[in-house]
């Protein structure tokens, strides 16, 4: 749709505002994998409450906005179990080893001109594009 | 105070992911798929998010967080093997399913059973990460 980019820009702005609130308010970097990962492995025990509340906000916001949309919302997520489990494992392991994902390294890292954030972003985009090219266009499995 | 701000930040993040279409895996894969029907939306989302964050970082100079504590330390300058290997693994998973951690969490209530399977696998991956990391370090030391 030709309005997709406008919604992308608006939604992106909201994401950036969320990051700004978390940074200027709590002094924290808004990285989804770091916030969840710290709860999962216990490294974020001291800030567990604020992590849980943040994630709650992430989950609840779409449900609140949902009724305002009269279009059907579909995530188009694959139902292939092998793909889902492999992808989930790779995302979980990779973001913890790299210490960040699209929000932490991408949004928060690039905006402070962090070399690590920029390098991470270049590599996960290249890896994502290459993986999709191979598995969709060469092997035809996704 | 901290909790209220965290809830607001989370809601803005989740709402932004929803509104921008980033919980739709076809839009994410469409952006990564340069050999297919390329979808530029993700670039607008990234751009839209980086702009407020750029100003937020500038506002941190000479100030303290509203709720107390300190701002994050300046970014480390070194690019190491872990940053690159981890990002490559993450990117591969991102391309396969079209989900990264934020949208996976945001869409947990409406992505169906597949969304729950993905998040469960992602959490398992986070628990396994130190073991995989140690194994990679041994491999790197041996070569």
pLDDT tens, position by position, B52-100: 999 999 999 999 999 999 999 999 889 999 999 999 999 999 999 999 9
Interface test with B, best of A2, A6, A18, A65 (most B CBs within 10 A): A18
Q: Scanning every residue of chain B, which has its alpha carbon at the shortest distance from the alpha carbon of A118? A: B79
Question: Residue B113 and residue B54: Cα distance in Å, rounded?
Answer: 37
Residue B143 pLDDT class (50, 70, 90 cuts):
confident
Tokens of A59: 């989950």
Q: Say if CB B116 and CB A75 are below 8 A apart.
A: no
- Letter string b/e over residues B97-127, b meaning 16 or more CB atoms within 10 A of that residue's CB: bbbbbbbbbbbbebbeebbebbbebbbbbbe
Q: For residue range B31-63, list pLDDT tens digits in order.
A: 999 998 999 999 999 999 999 999 999 999 999
What range defines the domain where residue A72 resides? 4-138
Evaluate whether B87 touches A116 at the Cβ level (below 8 Å).
no
List CB contacts (< 8 A) between A87 and chain B.
92-94, 96-97, 99, 118, 121
A48 part of contact set with chain B, CB < 8 Å? no
Mean pLDDT of A104-112: 98
Selection from A26, A72, A73 nearest residue A49 by Cα: A26
**Chain B interface mutation, best of A49, A75, A81, A104, highest count of B Cβ atoms under 10 Å:** A75
ipTM value = 0.97
- The pair of structure tokens assigned to B43 is 């670039």
Strands in chain A per DSSP E: none
Q: How far apart are CA B92 and CA A132, in angstroms?
A: 8
| Cβ neighbours of B5 in A, within 8 Å | 21-22, 25-26
User: Which residue among B10, B70, B115 sits closest to A53, beta carbon to beta carbon?
Assistant: B10
Q: Determine the pLDDT at residue A1.
A: 60
Q: The tokens of A56 are what?
A: 């709650």
pLDDT by residue (tens digit) across A15-56?
Answer: 999 999 999 999 999 999 999 999 999 999 999 999 999 999
Measured between beta carbons, the chain B residues lying within 8 angstroms of A51 are 6
Domain count, chain A: 1
Q: What is the pLDDT of residue A3?
A: 87
């Amino acid at each position: 749709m030709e309005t997709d980019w406008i919604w992308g820009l608006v939604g992106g702005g909201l994401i950036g505002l969320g990051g700004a609130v978390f940074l200027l308010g709590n002094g924290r970097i808004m990285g989804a994998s770091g916030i969840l990962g710290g709860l999962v492995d216990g490294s974020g025990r001291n800030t567990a409450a604020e992590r849980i509340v943040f994630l709650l906000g992430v989950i609840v916001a779409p449900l609140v906005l949902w009724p305002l949309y009269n279009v059907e919302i579909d995530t188009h997520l694959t139902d292939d179990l092998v793909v889902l489990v492999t992808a989930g494992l790779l995302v979980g392991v990779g973001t913890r080893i790299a210490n960040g994902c699209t929000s932490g390294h991408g949004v928060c890292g690039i905006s402070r001109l962090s070399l690590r954030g920029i390098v991470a972003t270049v590599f996960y985009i290249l890896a994502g594009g290459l993986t999709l090219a191979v598995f969709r266009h060469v092997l035809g499995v996704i | 105070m901290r909790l209220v701000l965290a809830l607001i930040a989370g809601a803005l993040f989740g709402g932004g992911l929803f509104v921008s279409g980033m919980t739709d895996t076809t839009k994410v894969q469409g952006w990564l798929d340069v050999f297919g029907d390329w979808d530029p939306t993700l670039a607008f989302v990234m751009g839209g998010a980086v702009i407020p964050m750029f100003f937020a970082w500038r506002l941190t100079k000479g100030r303290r967080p509203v709720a107390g504590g300190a701002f994050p330390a300046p970014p480390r300058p070194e690019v190491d093997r872990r940053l690159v290997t981890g990002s490559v693994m993450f990117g591969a998973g991102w391309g396969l399913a079209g989900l990264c951690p934020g949208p996976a969490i945001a869409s947990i209530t409406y992505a169906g059973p597949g969304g729950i399977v993905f998040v469960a696998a992602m959490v398992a991956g986070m628990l396994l990460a130190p073991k995989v990391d140690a194994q990679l370090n041994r491999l790197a030391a041996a070569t």
